[in-house]
Amino acid sequence: MKKNIRWAVIFSAVVLVCLGVIFFGQLTADSKGAEIYLGGKLYKTVENIENTQPGEITVRTPEGFNRICWHNGSIWVEEADCASLTCKKYGKATLIGETIVCAPHGLVIKVVGKTDDEVDAMT
């Protein structure tokens, strides 16, 4: 009888640890940010584009400017003064790995974060 209780306790502990890892993984899987590069160098890191509070930054270069906005998991170029406006026409980048490029200004915006496919290791 004691042997069965011991195995039940071990099994319950393993299940609780697995549920904790799954729950913790779900909490961190949605964390998305963005990296803004200017001339190939990291200009600014936006920690959390998932935030419900909108944010924005204006990047100025000798060639012109880009006004970048983020809100609810998306980042986009709201306004730019380049000739083609391809960066603005791209729309909202929401998926990890998506990039927005403004070649005339040397601007690259990349959505970064942890994907659901990544696995956390706990020791």
**CATH number for 82:** 2.60.320.10
Percent of all residues in the chain with a pLDDT value above 90, rounded to a whole number = 59
Nearest to 96 by CA among 50, 46, 32: 32
Residues 26 and 51 in one domain: no
In a domain, 118, yes or no: no
**Could you give the angle at the alpha carbon of 20 between the alpha carbons of 16 and 21, nearest 5°?**
120
Same-domain pairing of 46 and 106: yes
Looking at per-residue confidence, does 27 or 114 come out higher? 114
Model confidence band, residue 50 (pLDDT cutoffs 50, 70, 90): confident
Shared domain for 23 and 44, answered yes or no, is no
Instruction: For residues 42 and 92, state if they share a domain.
Output: yes
Same domain, 100 and 78: yes
What is the domain range of residue 108? 32-113
Q: pLDDT tier at 6 (50, 70, 90 boundaries)?
A: low
What is the count of structural domains for the chain? 2
